[in-house]
Amino acid sequence: MRVVSSINRVRQILKSARSNGTIAFVPTMGALHEGHLSLMKKAKAECDFLVVSLFVNPLQFGPTEDFKVYPRELASDRKKAHSAGADLLWIPSEKDLYPPGFQSTVTVSKISQPWEGIFRPDHFKGVSTIVAKLLQITRPDRLYLGQKDYQQSCVIRQMIRDLHFETQMRVCATCREKDGLAMSSRNARLSTKARENAAILYRALQAAKNQVRSGERDAKCIIQTVTSLLESIPGLKYDYVALCDIETLEPLERLADCAVLLAAIHIGRVRLIDNIRLKIPKK
């Protein structure tokens, strides 16, 4: 595995890789966990060359958010990426991606607005801009993203379509801890007690799923099930719990065919998101 910072060097390496086969790309902010590694393994299994980027993108953090305390674990990240099959680990510098005078941004307007967009204004502008930049430089055949950041994957899918990137997108299932908590670099920042309590998020989503299995179709009732469970944990606050169309993310009143249930919570000083797909069982 080569470890490279320079944009030009990345282009050079990928140019040669491209002439020999297909390129897979896994963009990360580091602090790699099993979720990232499973994306990498899948990517490497499906393509000839795997490039992983590691960049904590300041543009996608709000002024009061956790950019400064976001976990950084470069040494172990290198080992993990290597063991997961990365051929190239790209660690760009902030000054190469955002040099003095930088001022161009990519906005995906509609799909960025609800849910995360309300609680993290400009977050998705930061995401779509950095992903546009990374895709321009790496020009991969396939881009691998995790389902945990569901709305993010919708935003990027729309951007790829609208701006004519020649990259196929693959969204892979969320990896979870034993108690169901979605893997996230931010989990490392939970206290022991908060970590224990955080399991409620997935349990609440599962409760909604069971309710749908038992025949419930009304969005309000399904959401109520989730919020009641979340509220049972002292100190836990939620930003939203939403039952949405799987593509447009518009809220649904009734579950008709399939939907995605999205939620964002605050537990201790950490903000966590998760989601599950709901599908009405065929009769």
CB closer to a second copy, 159 vs 181: 159
214 binds a second copy (CB under 8 A): no
Using CB under 8 A, pick the residue from 40, 89, 111, 183 that binds a second copy.
111
Cβ(75)–Cβ(68) below 8 Å: no
CB closer to a second copy, 137 vs 241: 137
| Vertex 72 angle, CA 99 and 121, to 5° | 60
Instruction: Count residues binding a second copy (CB under 8 A).
Output: 25
Distances (CA, A) of 192 to 22, 98, 157, 188: 43, 37, 36, 10
C-alpha–C-alpha distance, residues 279 and 193, integer Å = 33
Distances (CA, A) of 69 to 59, 60, 78, 249: 15, 14, 20, 30
Shortest Å distance, C-beta 163 to a second copy: 6
Shortest Å distance, C-beta 103 to a second copy: 5
Shortest Å distance, C-beta 100 to a second copy: 11
Shortest Å distance, C-beta 162 to a second copy: 4
Length of the chain: 283
Contacts of 250 by beta carbon, 8 Å cutoff, 6+ apart: 114, 244
Residue 47: phi and psi, rounded to 5, are: -130, 170
Letters for 144-173 (x = contact with a second copy by CB under 8 A, - = none) are --------------xx--xxxxx-------
String of DSSP letters for 183-252: P-GGGGGS-HHHHHHHTHHHHHHHHHHHHHHTT--BHHHHHHHHHHHHHTSTT-EEEEEEEE-TTT--B-
Distances (CA, A) of 188 to 17, 28, 49, 62: 35, 16, 30, 20
Shortest Å distance, C-beta 10 to a second copy: 10
CB closer to a second copy, 166 vs 282: 166
232 binds a second copy (CB under 8 A): no
Using CB under 8 A, pick the residue from 6, 76, 83, 136 that binds a second copy.
136
CB closer to a second copy, 137 vs 267: 137
Active site residue 36: yes
Determine the interface stretch with a second copy among 39-47, 81-89, 126-134, 264-272 (rule: CB under 8 A). 126-134
CB closer to a second copy, 124 vs 202: 124
80-109 binders of a second copy (CB under 8 A): 101-109
Q: Return the SS3 of 3.
A: strand
Please report, as ranges, the residues that interact with a second copy according to CB under 8 A.
7, 11, 101-111, 128, 132-133, 136-137, 158-159, 162-166
Residues carrying an active site annotation: 36
